[in-house]
Structure 1
Amino acid sequence: MTPSTPTLSVKDLRVGSPFNELLHGISFEIAAGERVGLIGESGSGKSLTATSVMGLLPETLMATGTINLNGIDADLLTASERRLNRLRGNTMAMVFQEPMTALNPLMRVGAQVAEIMMVHRTERGRRQARQRAVELLARVKLPNPAEAALAFPHQLSGGQRQRVMLAMALANDPQLLLCDEPTTALDVTVQAEVLKLIGDLVTDRGTALLLITHDIAVVAEVCQRVLVMYQGDIVEDGPVGRVLTAPQHPYTRKLIAASDLSSVDDRGRLHTMSMPVIATPPAAASSPRPSQADAAAAPILLPHRAAHQRLEQGGPPVIFNEVAGAGAIRVRGLSRQYRRRGGGLFAPAPIVHGLREVSFDVAEGQRFGIVGESGSGKSTLMRILCALDQPTSGAVDVLGQSIGGASERQLRDFRSQVQIVFQDPMGSLDPRMKVRDIVAEPLHHVGRAEAQARVEAQLAAVGLDADVMHRHPHQFSGGQRQRISIARALITRPRVLVADEAVSALDVSVRAQVLNLLADLVDEYQLTLVFVSHDLGVIRHLCDTVAVISDGRIVECGPTASVYDRPLHPYTRQLVSATPSMDELARRVIA
């Protein structure tokens, strides 16, 4: 491979259907060992570009132009399927966004890594391929690689499955590696590890990298050059440092502004891509959001450092954020244990501790954030607060009602007062129902005319027109579906709103819109908000108080600004350091 010949050359690539053109003649090159990022919102054409290179476009789409891979004498757009099959997984490889759908659930992961080498005959036999698979799993830093090779995909965490995908992609030393949103659904600490791993591996092997993402912070961690894509066109191309600090195109400037959760306007709202933004509701103006300083000065909080010292000294369970008098939520000594299958014929099933002696209070009208990695206990705590699960021990009172042991009949009124917004709106909205029926579903004993009027008003409150009522969920974007979920949650006029990773799967621009909307609605409806996330940056922007949870325990709690700026627990410091900061990234790429 000569230095003058790029590993990948794309010229005048156009992709479209008979009715619409989706890519409008894009061109770019990637040299050997070069790390290039491709950023843009959903629908901009990023994944279409990758699938065009891999020859995986659906039959309903047509592509023109040329795509050349160094050392291959055929245009990949016109190459036969047989030729492409020899190249995929060997000369070029791809890491997909969701490893659980890309991995075979019926095969052990070691066998899947070995299969790549067996198909392309890069190892002499099955035994050698299996041994090489274990070596590759060790190379991507999977704990206990020999044991991990015997596991099925569902027995691994999201970050571990993504490492398996990376091992498969690099098994045959490809010239070109394409990564399509490889870290979108990962925790910040796991994301940082996977990004460093990708950067190190492609640097060691001299592999050309095309990293596709909607988050410029991810590109800044790994890439040397960035391509900015907007509505099927590449609108900017340049070194990461220059694009990050001095973007030329207006779209790039808006994308960077929307990525920065510390940058707000004079009303405390995040910058968004679409203009104009939804106006602040009148009630929100009369009930301004308390500042971080006000929250820190409030007398309801247990002193931050004192609470941490009590936890370290092994004293009795700490009651974080103790409220004088009746609060919205009161949790004391909460524990939840599960029994995992597979204990053996005579051995008892092992016990998994989801929550361990958790105690805290949430005051009326407070914005309470719960942050931690996957498996830390966040979702278990959320399910118990919403009466979707029962604690093993301890007491939970929400709005004065005890949750432990309550029957469904006793919880009927509770469910109208406590509502939840889930991470994946497509999974929580019935695909067979129209929006009108989805939003009206929680309304009981309400006439059709009144329900129709309330649905129209609620959709307007979340920034959707009345004509969306007659459409189905699949006809909307991810951000619009999340707005529908919020409308459904607020239709009963709840007092407590629980949001479980409500923005983690959204583009940065849509994320800013939804966070602004949530802040406005919490003020307008005077809600108590419990926001669960693995992203401390999102929590810092939206919440006045945060509890950091690790291994089923709350290890730190206090005013968000205090916990973020002066973390006391090592786990909190790890979370804070793994959360990308636009200013820090800009200084790093310039240096």
Structure 2
Amino acid sequence: MTVPTLSVNDLRVASPFADLLHGISFDISAGERVGLIGESGSGKSLTATSVMGLLPETLTATGTIRLNGVDADLLTAPERRLNQLRGTTMAMVFQEPMTALNPLMRVGTQVAEIMTVHHTETGRRQARQRAVELLALVKLPNPAEAALAFPHQLSGGQRQRVMLAMAMANDPLLLLCDEPTTALDVTVQAEVLKLIGNLVTERGTALLLITHDIAVVAEVCQRVLVMYRGEIVEDGPVGRVLTAPQHPYTQKLIAASDLSSVDDRGRLHTMSMPVVGRPPAAVSAPRQIHTDAAAAVIRPPHRAVHQRLEPGDPPVIFNEVTGAPAISVRDLSRQYRRRGGGLFATAPIVHGLRDVSFDVAEGQRFGIVGESGSGKSTLMRILCALDQPTTGTVDVLGQPIAGASERHLRDFRSQVQIVFQDPMGSLDPRMKVRDIVAEPLRNVNRAEALARVEAQLNAVGLDADVMNRHPHQFSGGQRQRISIARALITRPRVLVADEAVSALDVSVRAQVLNLLADLVDEYQLTLVFVSHDLGVIRHLCDTVAVISDGRIVECGPTADVYDSPLHPYTRQLVSATPSMHELARRVAP
């Protein structure tokens, strides 16, 4: 039998207060691609940091971790020995490259440093040349120019490619990737996953890919380990685990990952029982198709334009509605001046939005989908009066918001609320939950405010005892529920969600999407949902607008746009979106 590249045996990790890993064991052979999946807190990242010897000093670890050709146990090896192994024999790609890269160093210098520190290149000049070759190997456009850029001058996908070039610089035996594509758009994710698979296959590198998304594992890996509460509960070939999972947790995880699979009430499958305080069953009825007479009472009939739009074509009013729309946008453009360049150079103009026109009907679920930099967030900020257009008009609930006074905007913001992508960044860490949720209320005495906060928290599935806690004491999904409660406390008519579930585990994502669908129906909200995830938009929204390079290139009923895309950009997005059914068919044993 061949000796595995990585052998983990009876690994146990504990804090002073609790056991975190409960004796996990697994091997990875040379050239084998293994996925490690599970929810946040299951122990995935702890496993990776244990292998790399990066556990915090407050944690204790027992068991053995061995690398082929290394005579030391990685759990007990001295720091000097581990420093020799990191970057040469084993390497790691982290989830957020912006925090892993040095913001003050050019990326080419950082790639070259990996080789000069470990003396795998004879000199600095040779290392810089090799760095450019590595940037070309990871398919970075114009690698010689990219080597001179600083991290903030590259996109998220480009920064992740730089991290991959650094990890593969010294041909490691083992590559660990911790959620390497979570923050990336679907097309960039597909490119990075393909690149990782090709690199480790060509070099015979053992891969441990950590993620909460089983679709990502199915794209790259041959074998999958399923982790739950510090234990590996299932281990097997990807095809078998994806199509015939044995453990109940794996079955629920796969069901929650499939956004096309719903129960008889039209709700996504979740990992747990329905939360306390969920709206009553009548509110949770499955969403009707738009032509249904009952739905037409809430969502007035409208004409959704499903057509292809090319640059240079005359402006089109997309999704023009009959009657007074909740949101009406006409000829909207937003331009910025990019800073930088020489002292006397004219700052170039960046077109964030170009001649955008569309309507959103009262009570409609309107999705806006596109990649990073397409103009989604710029449009969202203008709709919420957080930014002003360069040209064009925006009317929300019959009120023009361009140039409106602050007094009018205060009234406007009680009717239009927003839920942001990162709840930790949008919640004041110094405030208690009761004060965070009550903050938008005006002219309300404290007793009434607390009663309304308690009722609103109950509506989003949180008990009253959370009111006296701070944001850092909650999970990501719970923090997003708090953000939703704060947004709905003023009883708004329009809710804008900006990537509201992109940072959540698949099971928590399903819970929050079910919650949003329930609350939109209960409060008869007009929903504008901004996302790069086509699966989320397809499940939640009845109409979708596809935006690229600041223009809406396609718009219409969600099923029509997804099933029969007209624009090449839409077809590219649809083809890059992982489908659980397609993945199951492809990897089936």
TM-score (norm 1): 0.97
Q: Distance in 2 between matches of 1:4 and 1:134?
A: 35
> 2:186, 2:533 within 8 Å by CA — same for their partners in 1?
yes
Q: Which residue number corresponds to residue 328 of structure 1? A: 326
Q: Secondary structure at the match of 1:409?
A: helix
User: 1: distance between equivalents of 2:58 and 2:535?
Assistant: 40
Please tell me the residue identity of whatever aligns with 2:39.
Answer: E
Q: Distance in 1 between matches of 2:240 and 2:128?
A: 45
SS of equivalent residue, structure 1 residue 414: helix
Conserved 8 A contact 2:278-2:459:
no
1:223 and 1:524 mapped to 2: Cα distance? 42
Q: Which amino acid aligns with 1:584?
A: E
Q: In 2, distance between residues paired with 1:285 and 1:459?
A: 17
Aligned match for 1:498, one of 496, 513, 516: 496
Q: Tell me, what secondary structure is at the counterpart of 2:406?
A: coil
Output the CA distance in 2 between the equivalents of 1:293 and 1:161. Answer: 45
Q: For 1:172 and 1:365, how far apart are their aligned partners in 2?
A: 56
The verdict on how the C-alpha distance between 1:99 and 1:312 changes in structure 2, with shifts beyond 3 A counting, is closer
1:284/1:520 contact within 8 Å kept: no
Amino acid corresponding to residue 483 of structure 1 in structure 2? R
Q: 2:460 aligned with 1:456, yes or no?
A: no
Aligned residue number for residue 204 of structure 2: 206
Q: Is the 8 A contact 2:330 2:394 kept in 1?
A: yes
Q: Deviations for 1:139-186, whole angstroms, at most 9, x for unmatched residues?
A: 100111111111111111111110000000000000000000000010
Decide which of 233, 236, 252 is 1:235's aligned counterpart. Answer: 233
Amino acid aligned to 1:360: F
For residue 101 of structure 1, what is the amino acid of its counterpart? Answer: T
Greater shift, 34-43 or 396-405, is seen at 396-405
The 8 Å contact of residues 265 and 285 in structure 2, kept in 1 or not, is answered as no
Deviation of 1:314 after TM superposition, in Å, equals 4.1
C-alpha contact (below 8 Å) 1:284/1:523 kept by paired residues: no
Once the two structures are TM-superposed, the CA of residue 18 in structure 1 deviates from its matched residue by 2.6
Q: Do 1:288 and 1:523's aligned partners in 2 also have CA atoms closer than 8 Å? A: no
* Contact kept? 2:278, 2:458, Cα under 8 Å: no
Alignment of 1:528-567 (within 5 A): 528-567=526-565
- Deviation, 1:289, is 2.7
Is contact 1:66-1:75 (8 Å) kept?
A: yes
Conservation of the 8 A alpha-carbon contact between 2:106 and 2:148: yes
Match of 1:337 among 335, 338, 344: 335
SS in 2 for 1:410: helix
Aligned residue pairs total: 585
- Distance in 2 of aligned mates of 1:303 and 1:150: 45
Tell me which amino acid in the other structure corresponds to 1:301: R
Q: Distance in 2 between matches of 1:279 and 1:168?
A: 48
**Partner in structure 2 of residue 510 of structure 1:** 508
The CA distance in 2 between the partners of 1:150 and 1:440, in whole Å, is 48
**Alignment counterpart, residue 302 of structure 2, candidates 300, 310, 318:** 300
Q: Is the 8 A contact 2:276 2:462 kept in 1?
A: no
CA offsets 1:18-68 (integer angstroms, 9 cap, x no match): 321100000000000000000000000000000000000000000000000
Structure 2: stretches of 5+ with no match in the other structure: none
Q: For residues 496 and 449 of structure 1, what CA distance do their matches in structure 2 show?
A: 27
In 2, Cα distance between the equivalents of 1:266 and 1:575? 29
Query: Who is 1:468 aligned against?
Result: 466
After TM superposition, where is structure 1 displaced by more than 6 Å over at least 4 residues in a row? 295-298
Answer yes or no: is 1:106 the counterpart of 2:116.
no
Task: Mark the CA change 1:49 to 1:293 in structure 2 (over 3 Å): closer, same or farther.
Answer: farther
* Partner of residue 94, structure 1: 92
Q: Which amino acid aligns with 2:412?
A: F
Indicate the residue corresponding to 1:408 in structure 2: 406
Distance (Å, rounded) in 1 between the aligned partners of 2:282 and 2:133: 57
- Contact 1:261–1:541 (Cα < 8 Å) also in 2: yes
Which residue matches 2:439?
441
RMSD in angstroms over aligned alpha carbons?
A: 1.5
> Structure 1 residue 409: deviation in Å?
1.8
Distance 2:238 2:386 in 1: 45
The answer to whether the 8 Å contact 1:425/1:481 transfers is: yes
Paired position in structure 1 for 2:394: 396
Which residue of the other structure, out of 224, 248, 251, is the alignment partner of 2:249?
A: 251
Secondary structure of 1:341's partner? coil
Q: In structure 2, what is the equivalent of residue 133 of structure 1?
A: 131
**Cα distance between partner residues in 2 of 1:445 and 1:228:** 51
**Does structure 1 conserve the Cα–Cα contact (< 8 Å) formed by 2:265 and 2:284?**
no
Q: How far 1:324 moved relative to its partner?
A: 1.5
Q: Structure 1 residue aligned with 2:379, among 378, 381, 391? A: 381
Task: Confirm or deny: 8 A CA contact 1:47 1:212 kept in the other structure.
Answer: yes
* Percent pairwise identity: 88
SS in 1 for 2:408: coil
Q: Say whether the 8 Å CA contact 1:287–1:523 is kept in structure 2.
A: no
Deviation of 1:119 after TM superposition, in Å, equals 0.4
Distance between the aligned counterparts of 2:135 and 2:303, measured in 1?
Answer: 46
The amino acid across from 1:104 in the alignment is N
Structure 2 vs 1, CA of residues 401 and 276 (structure 1 numbering), >3 Å: closer, same or farther?
closer
Shift of 1:94: 0.2
Give the distance between the partners of 2:579 and 2:404, measured in 1 at CA.
44
Q: Which residue of 2 aligns with 1:164?
A: 162
Alpha-carbon distance in structure 1 between the residues aligned to 2:494 and 2:429: 26
Please give the alpha-carbon distance, in whole angstroms, between the structure 2 residues aligned to 1:502 and 1:346: 41
Aligned mates of 1:85, 1:481 — CA distance in 2: 37
Q: Which amino acid aligns with 1:261?
A: L
Return the alpha-carbon distance in structure 2 between the equivalents of residues 331 and 217 of structure 1.
37
The one-letter amino acid of 2:43's match is G
SS at 2:197 equivalent:
helix
Deviations 1:308-363 (A, max 9, x none): 2xx34944201000012211000000000000012323321000000000000000
Alignment of 1:332-371 (within 5 A): 332-371=330-369
1:117 pairs with one of 115, 138, 152: 115
Q: In the TM superposition, what is the alpha-carbon distance from 1:274 to its structure 2 partner?
A: 1.1
What is the distance in 1 between the residues matched to 2:310 and 2:412?
36
CA apart distance, 1:404: 1.0
Q: Structure 1 residues 130, 219: CA separation in 2 closer, same or farther (over 3 Å shift)? A: same
Amino acid of the structure 2 residue aligned with 1:549: I
Mean alpha-carbon deviation: is it higher for 268-277 or for 215-224?
A: 268-277
In the alignment, structure 1 residue 151 sits paired with structure 2 residue 149: yes
Q: Match for residue 29 of structure 2? A: 31
Compared CA separation, residues 488 and 299, structure 1 to 2 (3 A): closer
Partner of 1:41: 39
* Structure 1 Cα separation of the partners of residues 580 and 152 of structure 2: 35
Tell me which amino acid in the other structure corresponds to 1:548. Answer: V
CA contact (8 A) 2:261 2:268 kept: yes
> C-alpha separation between the residues in 2 aligned to 1:504 and 1:321?
26
Quote how far apart the aligned CAs of 1:572 are: 0.3
Q: Is the 8 A contact 2:453 2:489 kept in 1?
A: yes
Structure 1: gaps of 5 or more residues: none
| Alpha carbons 2:305, 2:320 under 8 Å: kept | no
One-letter amino acid of the counterpart of residue 169, structure 1: A
CA distance in 2, matches of 1:395, 1:276: 43
Q: Is the CA contact 1:292–1:560 (under 8 Å) kept in the aligned structure 2?
A: no
Greater alpha carbon shift after TM alignment, 404-413 vs 212-221: 404-413
What is the Cα deviation at residue 407 of structure 1?
Answer: 2.1
Q: Distance in 1 between matches of 2:422 and 2:283?
A: 30
User: Matches of 2:301 and 2:408 in 1, distance apart?
Assistant: 34
Please say if 1:417 is aligned against 2:419.
no
Of 161, 179, 185, which aligns to 2:177?
Answer: 179
Normalised TM-score (structure 2): 0.97
Query: Do the aligned partners of residues 589 and 287 (structure 1) sit closer, same or farther apart at CA in structure 2, a change above 3 Å counting?
Result: closer
SS of equivalent residue, structure 2 residue 283: helix
Q: Using the alignment, how far apart are the partners of 2:158 and 2:578 within structure 1? A: 21
Distance 1:61 1:118 in 2: 32
Task: Look up the SS of the partner of 1:411 in the other structure.
Answer: helix
Report if the CA contact (8 A) 1:422-1:501 is conserved: yes
